[in-house]
A and B are shown apart, each in its own frame.
Chain A
Amino acid sequence: MKTGILTKPEIQELFSSMITKNGEESRIFVPATIEGRVILEEFSPEREIFYDFANFLRPPKGIFFPQREVLCSFEQERAVEVPPAAGRIIIFGIRPCDARSFLFLDKIFSAGSSGFADPYYLGRRENSVIISLSCIEPSEGCFCTSLGGGPGDESGSDIVAFDLGDRLLFEAHSAKGENFIEENTTEFRQPDAADQNAKKESLQAAFNAISRISTDGLVEKLDDDFSDSFWEEITATCLGCGVCTYLCPTCHCFDITDEKDRDGTGTRVRTWDSCQYPLFTMHASGHNPRAEKKQRMRQRIMHKFSYTPRTTGDVFCVGCGRCVRKCPVNLDIREVIRKINGE
């Protein structure tokens, strides 16, 4: 495994030099603050990388799978495809839970599970380097360690960076990551024993702060015919908004609509959709198979914890805790799982 140390100012310099390098343009996304909000923002040399945060409000999925994307434009009978944006994408500073979510999205948008490869998602994703930043202070509501993740988990990351205060320890976990360190090897210094110790300590503290749920045998438990009353009970206070799904790093459902002007020109647009909206399953006839919120919440839980484990082998939840923290009525997915467990 290739490793390297950079100080924080050196990282700033490295990225500044990478926006255009050897004739190749890169879009680099880094943690930054705008008016007190920490967001994943496109890097420019003037933008200072921000390290003191727990996680971003929004998941990073929008970089590869934008909330709104024009797929093609048309004029009467003629359609013009809008090609996916080209160029390299470097994402720095997302947490390991979010990096892990890319592995799941890859399965959905590549030919593997569906038989259809999505050129828009893959066009961006394949030309990307993911450098995640280990978790130092997990938030209340985080539960990644129950789902195979962890504060320094490498799944989905080409490189995991560990924040050691004034400097970062980089560890490559893929060929892309190795190349990245190789290409910039003059910049990196080799970690020593003190660096490794600092890394271990920060990870342990973070690990201890993360809440846990049990997902053992959950697929089978969900197979049991859960009475309507169970779902009704847990969704009694649900408002029916889309916060949990839009802030979820693994939720990937979308809608495609044609927006036509009077003159016959228009665009075909893909937008995020949410299983929590009644329109999600509304039929043209007016019939809605999931007319009630208990059915919609059941879909959300079943999709993540029953259907995707069967179709892709993975639980589609990374335990980032966004839905836990941001639900306006504190409908806590950890609690739902515990109830399903009979705890």
Chain B
Amino acid sequence: MIEVQNQMRILASDLIRQKRVDFIIGYEQGTLAHTSRPCIIDVRTSGPEVSEKLVWNSYCSNNLSVYLQKFFAPPVQGRKKDAAPPLRIGLIVKGCDLRSVLNLIREKQVPRENLILIGLPCTGMLDKKKMEINKDELDIEKNIQDSCLECRFSNVKGVDFEITGKTREVPGDLYEVVRLFEARTRKDRLAYFEKEISRCIRCNACRQACPSCYCRECFADQKDMKWLGSGTMSDTMIYHLIRIFHQAGRCAECDACFRACPEEIDLRTFTRKLAKDVEELFGFVTDFNRESIPPLSTFSSGDSDSFITEPEEGG
């Protein structure tokens, strides 16, 4: 990993020296143990030595693509004719981050030509919570984040610069957790959803950490035509149901929502279930293919409608 970090720093300093980027988004050392955190470096005002700040280790979990959209969002009054050209962003990406970036490109939120994507090999990120529980556990596999355990995209594709190295093997069962969830009765599943959601404090961290949640005005925040009330259980459930369903065919399963949640609500099972449904019903996976059309952006008369059921059925 230290070798990947060195190569990443050299690459970043070259990009800065050659003036090919205006910003570099990567990771830096955090203030707590076992913590790396996002950093956004304005390289127009700093020299190539700033790349020494960048780190790469098993704590680089944050999905950095969440910061991209604001660089390219049109201003409220519309873009002026003589406005400065859009910025060029150098972005450090793992497989999941890259798939989020591609989603933003597919959805025309971010112009590909303004990005310099630096792909790193990922062996899975460590879960601080698991590390706390498994105090004496030296087996790294036991402390890997759940999302990484089910990841089949640790080898990046289609980046501008790729630093190669060890990556994760594709796991045999991609949807183990979801299958367990699906095996439960409908009543049970609803009870589980309610139990998890009951801890929600409506801090919006799941939404804010998600690269796919970029709506300028979230339905949850709309005041003129108010969709949500002041935080009863029913309001909170609506918030989560809509947030989760908006992820259909868009979620890169990076688990940024789950990691951001202070209450550790199991958001993962629900988004993962959706990913499985989208894959099985529409044959779509948020993979490295930039040209594919996400299911929510298209339709065909042959689309599956097997998910439309009577409320009483299947209980």
Residues of A within 8 A of B (CB): 36-37, 57-58, 67-68, 140-141, 236-237, 239-243, 246-247, 255, 257, 259, 269, 271, 274, 277-279, 282, 324-326, 328-332, 334-335
Pairwise interchain contact A242-B205, C-beta atoms closer than 8 A:
yes
Find the A residue at minimum CB distance from B25: A237
Find the A residue at minimum CB distance from B229: A259
Given A324-B32, A330-B31, CB of A237 within 8 Å of CB of B205? no
Pairwise interchain contact A243-B205, C-beta atoms closer than 8 A:
yes
Q: Report the minimum CB–CB distance from B260 to chain A (whole Å).
A: 4
Find the B residue at minimum CB distance from A284: B223
Q: Is B237 an interface residue (CB 8 A)?
A: no
Pairwise interchain contact B204-A68, C-beta atoms closer than 8 A:
no
- Enumerate B246-292 residues with CB–CB distance to A below 8 Å: 256, 259-260, 262-264
Q: Is B33 an interface residue (CB 8 A)?
A: yes
Pairwise interchain contact A330-B231, C-beta atoms closer than 8 A:
no
Chain A residues closer than 8 Å to B204, beta-carbon distance: 240-242, 277
Pairwise interchain contact A335-B31, C-beta atoms closer than 8 A:
yes
Measured in the bound complex, the distance between the Cα atoms of B207 and A72 in whole Å is: 31
Pairwise interchain contact A259-B205, C-beta atoms closer than 8 A:
no
Query: Chain A interface secondary structure, helix, strand, loop or mixed?
Result: loop
Measured in the bound complex, the distance between the Cα atoms of B229 and A241 in whole Å is: 19
Chain B interface, number of residues (Cβ within 8 angstroms): 33
Question: What would be 8 A-B contacts, judged by CB atoms less than 8 Å apart?
Answer: A141-B32, A241-B204, A243-B260, A257-B229, A269-B230, A277-B221, A328-B256, A335-B31
Pairwise interchain contact B35-A67, C-beta atoms closer than 8 A:
no
Find the A residue at minimum CB distance from B76: A291
Pairwise interchain contact A241-B260, C-beta atoms closer than 8 A:
yes
Chain B residues closer than 8 Å to A67, beta-carbon distance: 201-202, 231
Pairwise interchain contact B209-A140, C-beta atoms closer than 8 A:
no
Pairwise interchain contact A241-B32, C-beta atoms closer than 8 A:
no
Measured in the bound complex, the distance between the Cα atoms of B35 and A141 in whole Å is: 12
Given A237-B40, A328-B62, CB of A68 within 8 Å of CB of B209? no
Q: Report the minimum CB–CB distance from B110 to chain A (whole Å).
A: 17
Pairwise interchain contact A68-B230, C-beta atoms closer than 8 A:
yes
Q: Is B37 an interface residue (CB 8 A)?
A: yes
For A140, A282, A324, which residue has the most chain B Cβ atoms within 10 angstroms? A140
Pairwise interchain contact A271-B260, C-beta atoms closer than 8 A:
no
Q: Assuming A242-B201, A332-B31, what are 20 further A-B pairs, CB within 8 angstroms?
A: A57-B262, A67-B231, A141-B32, A237-B67, A241-B204, A241-B208, A242-B205, A243-B203, A243-B262, A246-B203, A246-B262, A247-B262, A274-B203, A279-B221, A325-B32, A328-B260, A329-B62, A330-B30, A330-B31, A331-B37
- Enumerate B24-53 residues with CB–CB distance to A below 8 Å: 30-33, 35, 37-40
Find the A residue at minimum CB distance from B133: A36
Measured in the bound complex, the distance between the Cα atoms of B79 and A167 in whole Å is: 68
Q: Report the minimum CB–CB distance from B23 to chain A (whole Å).
A: 10
Measured in the bound complex, the distance between the Cα atoms of B205 and A112 in whole Å is: 35
Chain B residues closer than 8 Å to A334, beta-carbon distance: 31
- Enumerate B158-185 residues with CB–CB distance to A below 8 Å: none
Query: Which of B35, B201, B260 is in CB contact (< 8 Å) with A246?
Result: B201
Measured in the bound complex, the distance between the Cα atoms of B66 and A140 in whole Å is: 27
Pairwise interchain contact B37-A239, C-beta atoms closer than 8 A:
no
Measured in the bound complex, the distance between the Cα atoms of B32 and A335 in whole Å is: 11
Find the B residue at minimum CB distance from A270: B230
Chain A residues closer than 8 Å to B264, beta-carbon distance: 37
Query: Chain B interface secondary structure, helix, strand, loop or mixed?
Result: loop
- Enumerate B202-218 residues with CB–CB distance to A below 8 Å: 202-205, 207-209
Residues of B within 8 A of A (CB): 30-33, 35, 37-40, 62, 66-67, 133, 201-205, 207-209, 221, 223, 229-232, 256, 259-260, 262-264
Find the B residue at minimum CB distance from A236: B40
Number of A-B contacts (CB under 8 A): 91
Q: What 4 A-B pairs are tightest by C-beta distance, nearest first?
A: A328-B260, A241-B205, A330-B37, A239-B208
Pairwise interchain contact B39-A237, C-beta atoms closer than 8 A:
yes
Find the B residue at minimum CB distance from A139: B32
Find the A residue at minimum CB distance from B38: A237
Measured in the bound complex, the distance between the Cα atoms of B235 and A269 in whole Å is: 14
Chain B residues closer than 8 Å to A326, beta-carbon distance: 262
For B232, B259, B263, which residue has the most chain A Cβ atoms within 10 angstroms? B263
Pairwise interchain contact A259-B203, C-beta atoms closer than 8 A:
no
Pairwise interchain contact A278-B221, C-beta atoms closer than 8 A:
yes
Pairwise interchain contact A140-B203, C-beta atoms closer than 8 A:
no
Measured in the bound complex, the distance between the Cα atoms of B256 and A237 in whole Å is: 14
Given A279-B221, A330-B31, CB of A239 within 8 Å of CB of B209? yes
Measured in the bound complex, the distance between the Cα atoms of B229 and A255 in whole Å is: 12
Q: Report the minimum CB–CB distance from B168 to chain A (whole Å).
A: 23
Given A237-B40, A242-B204, A279-B221, CB of A57 within 8 Å of CB of B32? no
Chain B residues closer than 8 Å to A236, beta-carbon distance: 39-40
Query: Which of A58, A240, A259, A330 is in CB contact (< 8 Å) with B230?
Result: A259
Given A57-B262, A243-B205, CB of A140 within 8 Å of CB of B221? no
Find the A residue at minimum CB distance from B222: A279
Q: Report the minimum CB–CB distance from A33 to chain B (whole Å).
A: 13
Pairwise interchain contact B32-A240, C-beta atoms closer than 8 A:
no
Measured in the bound complex, the distance between the Cα atoms of B39 and A330 in whole Å is: 10
Measured in the bound complex, the distance between the Cα atoms of B114 and A164 in whole Å is: 61
Chain B residues closer than 8 Å to A241, beta-carbon distance: 203-205, 207-209, 260
Pairwise interchain contact A68-B231, C-beta atoms closer than 8 A:
yes
Measured in the bound complex, the distance between the Cα atoms of B263 and A285 in whole Å is: 35
Q: Report the minimum CB–CB distance from B300 to chain A (whole Å).
A: 36
Measured in the bound complex, the distance between the Cα atoms of B39 and A277 in whole Å is: 22
Given A239-B66, A241-B204, A243-B203, CB of A330 within 8 Å of CB of B262? no
